Structures are given as C-alpha cells and as structure tokens.
Amino acid sequence: MTISDGIHAAFRREEYDRIERVNFSTLKWMAKSPAHYREVLVNPAPDTDPKKVGRVVHLAAFEPERFRSRIAVWDGGTRRGKDWDAFKERNEAEGRELLTENEYERCMAIQRAVRADATAMNYLQNGSGEVSLLWAAPVNETGEEIPCKGRIDFDSQTALVDLKTTKDASREGFGRQVVALNYHSQFAWYSDGYFKACGVRKPYVIVAVENEAPYDVVVYRVPEIALRLGRERYDRWLDQLAFCRRHNTWPGYSGGVELELELPKWALPLDEDDPTGLGLEVGGT
C-alpha cells in the first residue's frame, strides 16, 4: 500500500514501524560507516528495557490520558515462570508496554516533574502526541529524492516538542550530550521533515528532564545554528547513502585502504622545546 507524504496523526507505532522509509535512528549510523548502517538496517537491534521506558516516559508526559491504558505493571517479582508468561502474552496481545514496579514509579516521577513545570506546560497543551511525518529529502549530489519518515513527540500549536531524559539537564552538560549523540541532527531532521510534510516551520523545543531525583526540568529552544549544523550532517549521510545504494557498496571505517595508526595527542611525548604543551618558548638566563 502506498502512503502519501504529509502528517499522519493517527498512525499507531507498529503501523509507522512497518513503513519502509529512511528514519533518523538508522541513518545516524552513517556517522560510523555505511557498513554499520547496513548492519543495523538488516539486523535491527532488539528492544531493551531502557528503550521501553523511554517510550513510556514520552507517553506519560505528553498523553497522560492514554498512559494507563497502554501499560501493564508486573508486580510478581522475577520476570519468569508461568504467571509471567501468561501476563506477558495477554498484555502484549493488547499492545501494552510491560513495566516493573520500579520502572513504573520512575516514569510517574518524571511525568509529575514535567507536568509540574510551568514552562514545559506552555508547550504541552492544545496539540497532538506521537505524530508521524512522511516526506522526500533531496540528495545534493544527484538531485534524486529519498523517501523519509519521522515521528515527533508532540506537535503543539506553537512548537515541535521533544522530550529528552538525561543525567545532566544543565546548559553545559546537556549541550555536550546534544553534540555527542547527534541530537542536533535529529532536531533538524524532524524540523525539516515537518516543514516538507505540511509547509509550516515551527520553533523546535526540548524538554530536558533528569532521570534521577529531583528530576529537574529545563526547557531549551533550539537555535538556528544548531539546526543548520545538524542539517549539514544528515545531508552528508543522505548523500553517502544514495552513493552506497547506487553502487551497492557498504564500506567500513577504512574503505578497504591501509591506514597509518594515529595515537591520541595525550599519549604522545611533549615537545622538548615546549614541555608545557602551550606553545610557549622556554629558556633564558
């Protein structure tokens, strides 16, 4: 079945996952190499407890009215045995996420923190959660287009809103995490996808919440320079993906070429004329 480009607010997660288009969570592996991208595409990573908790936290914060109907809490101790198997089969058949009691309590603590924050709540009203986007991204090198998809956390009237749990929500700490995890490329991907899907450009806002008590919440508006830098990165990945598809080649780090080993700067001996390593001239009487 062909699904048209645009905004699709009613797609369930499993319907979205079945759509065969490039998404950011796979594309970002191009930052390592095309071989890593290809491996993740062919053999997707299994679901994990942290991924599940992340999904549930988003649901609890953005769609609390749907939260309780979409989860099931296991209070029977170790997750094995006939009772666990029956509980798992029954609830997974209904599309529910399975949480332990500890996971549930943490999700609820994060939800309370986010929804108690007045700045965050300015963006969490009068909108839709888990909105799917479909669009085509042009490839700079050839002008061809690659079908893409994305699923944004919350589409409010005034901004696109993304929830990120983190160990450090401070400006400096979270800024480092944004660069290290390519979040700025993800923000640009969703922002551009939304614009291409409906022709509207909205501000992009991050609700960063720490995943340990006191669950501090900070709201960040993503500046244009971060979106531009992120866009440049994902554009390069799309160009590289298009090339690999055309030539059916998926090189690793070296591309089959012998490389000279490089040691990190901290492991190299200091310059004898500059033992400080600061570019200073040392000597005199």
Domain with 110, as residue range(s), is 6-246
- 148 or 266, higher pLDDT: 148
Q: What is the pLDDT of residue 142?
A: 73
Q: Count structural domains, the chain.
A: 1
Confidence grade of residue 273 (pLDDT, cut at 50, 70, 90): low
Rounded mean pLDDT of 191-198? 96
Rounded mean pLDDT of 13-27? 92
Confidence grade of residue 280 (pLDDT, cut at 50, 70, 90): low
Two tokens at 102? 């500890």
Asked whether the predicted pLDDT for residue 278 surpasses 60, the reply is: no
Confidence grade of residue 283 (pLDDT, cut at 50, 70, 90): low
Rounded mean pLDDT of 119-129? 90
109 lies in a domain? Answer: yes
275 lies in a domain? Answer: no
Rounded to whole angstroms, what are the CA distances from 86 to 47, 52, 76, 78, 83?
20, 20, 12, 14, 5
Q: What is the pLDDT of residue 1?
A: 57
Confidence grade of residue 45 (pLDDT, cut at 50, 70, 90): confident
Q: What is the pLDDT of residue 77?
A: 87
107 lies in a domain? Answer: yes
Two tokens at 17? 């996952």
207 lies in a domain? Answer: yes
Asked whether the predicted pLDDT for residue 240 surpasses 70, the reply is: yes
266 lies in a domain? Answer: no
Asked whether the predicted pLDDT for residue 229 surpasses 80, the reply is: yes
Rounded mean pLDDT of 158-168? 95
Two tokens at 126? 């009068």
267 lies in a domain? Answer: no
Place of tokens 């509980």: 87
144 lies in a domain? Answer: yes
Asked whether the predicted pLDDT for residue 165 surpasses 90, the reply is: yes
The set of residues, in sequence order, having a beta carbon less than 8 Å from that of 161 and lying 6+ positions away, is: 62, 123, 124, 127, 152, 153, 154, 155, 205, 206, 207
Percent residues over pLDDT 70 in the chain: 94
Phi, psi of 162 (to 5 degrees): -125, 130
259 lies in a domain? Answer: no
Summary mean pLDDT of the chain: 90
Question: What number of CA atoms fall less than 13 Å from residue 233's CA on the CB side?
Answer: 24
Q: What is the pLDDT of residue 207?
A: 96
Asked whether the predicted pLDDT for residue 73 surpasses 70, the reply is: yes
CATH at 37:
3.90.320.10
* 50-68 tens-digit pLDDT: 788 888 888 888 888 888 8
Q: What is the pLDDT of residue 118?
A: 96
* 83-118 tens-digit pLDDT: 999 999 999 888 888 988 998 999 999 999 999 999
